[in-house]
Amino acid sequence: MFKYAITRIPCPAVVDGLTGSNFGIPNYENALMQHADYVEALKECGLEVLVLDAENDFADSCFVEDVALMTPHCAILTNPGAPSRRGEVEHIEASVHNYYDNVERINSPGLTEAGDIMMVGDHYYIGLSERTNQAGADQMIKILEKYDMSGSVVTLMEVLHLKTGLGYLENNNLLACGEFLTKPEFQKFNIIEIDQTESYSANSVWINGTVLVPKGFPGTVEIIKQAGYKVREVDVSEYQKIDGGLSCLSLRF
């Protein structure tokens, strides 16, 4: 069960967020409204939510999930692979220290963004991507092992972050799409296949029994409901325009 979440209000510069998609430029007013509803959804799941002020110097700073990994035993500040995002880490550090005694850190040449890290119990799958390198994964695994947890790497080719195409719903249920459907390391899970036409919604988030699903993906809503979960849809379309998934708008722990 999760107790807390940290989010950050998007700044006006979010319109210049990094993107490899061509869904257009986010509308700032809509992004703010969607963020407020996202925070509401986290609260509905029973979380106490810390909403940090906008950080105007960093266009992508609302995607707080990438800058820290929050485990039950320690928090690990990352070293984002995107140079423009590296400075976000120092702005989340004080908040992380408010919740954790044990705070670790990934250092260069190691690079990680925690959107590449999926927690399954005490094990963490770490995607090797354009943002997370082997040195970063090695450091991450060493830190996890220090706290009696474990990690392993997963290669990925088609998507930005590991959790762009995967979402663990607990109880051995794993949402998966595209290249992740056939990866040997995930075959032990009950794979819930997300249709390629709804691929964005593979990044849905389990929180205390409810699954937050991005709005606009009826097929995904249906199969998650069929799997026995309560669903809360959240419109994050403005964030999708800059490759932001539902999970990356919060740290949950």
Give the residue numbers marked as catalytic: 161, 248
Residue 234: phi, psi to the nearest 5? -135, 130
Q: What percent of the residues of the chain are helix, what percent strand, and what percent coil, each to the nearest 5?
A: 35, 25, 40
In the block, tokens 């990356």 appear at 248
Give whichever of 192 and 251 is closer to ligand CIR, judged by the CB atom.
251
Residue 138: phi, psi to the nearest 5? -60, -45
| Residue of the chain from 2, 6, 7, 17 that contacts ligand CIR (CB under 6 A) | 17
- Establish if 26 lies at the interface with ligand CIR (CB under 6 A): no
Which stretch, 23-31, 62-70, 119-127, 180-188, contacts ligand CIR (CB under 6 A)? Answer: 62-70
Whether omega before 109 lies within 30 degrees of 0, making that bond cis, reads yes
Give whichever of 82 and 227 is closer to ligand CIR, judged by the CB atom.
82
Residue 20: phi, psi to the nearest 5? -115, 5
3-state secondary structure of 84: helix
Residue number of the CB atom closest to ligand CIR: 115
* Cα dist from 59 to 77, 88, 121, 235, 242, whole Å: 19, 10, 32, 20, 10
Q: How far is 75 from 70, CA to CA, in rounded Å? A: 4
Which stretch, 11-19, 89-97, 146-154, 167-175, contacts ligand CIR (CB under 6 A)? Answer: 11-19
| Residue of the chain from 243, 250, 252, 253 that contacts ligand CIR (CB under 6 A) | 243
Q: How far is 217 from 124, CA to CA, in rounded Å? A: 27
| Residue of the chain from 41, 242, 250, 253 that contacts ligand CIR (CB under 6 A) | 242
Give whichever of 45 and 242 is closer to ligand CIR, judged by the CB atom.
242
**Contact criterion met (CB below 8 Å) for 202 and 160:** no
| Residue of the chain from 110, 151, 214, 245 that contacts ligand CIR (CB under 6 A) | 245
Size of the site for ligand CIR (CB under 6 A): 18
Give whichever of 61 and 188 is closer to ligand CIR, judged by the CB atom.
61
Give whichever of 23 and 190 is closer to ligand CIR, judged by the CB atom.
23
Q: How far is 81 from 71, CA to CA, in rounded Å? A: 21
Under the rule (CB under 6 A), what is the footprint of ligand CIR? 17-19, 60, 63, 65-66, 82, 85, 115, 160-161, 164, 242-245, 248
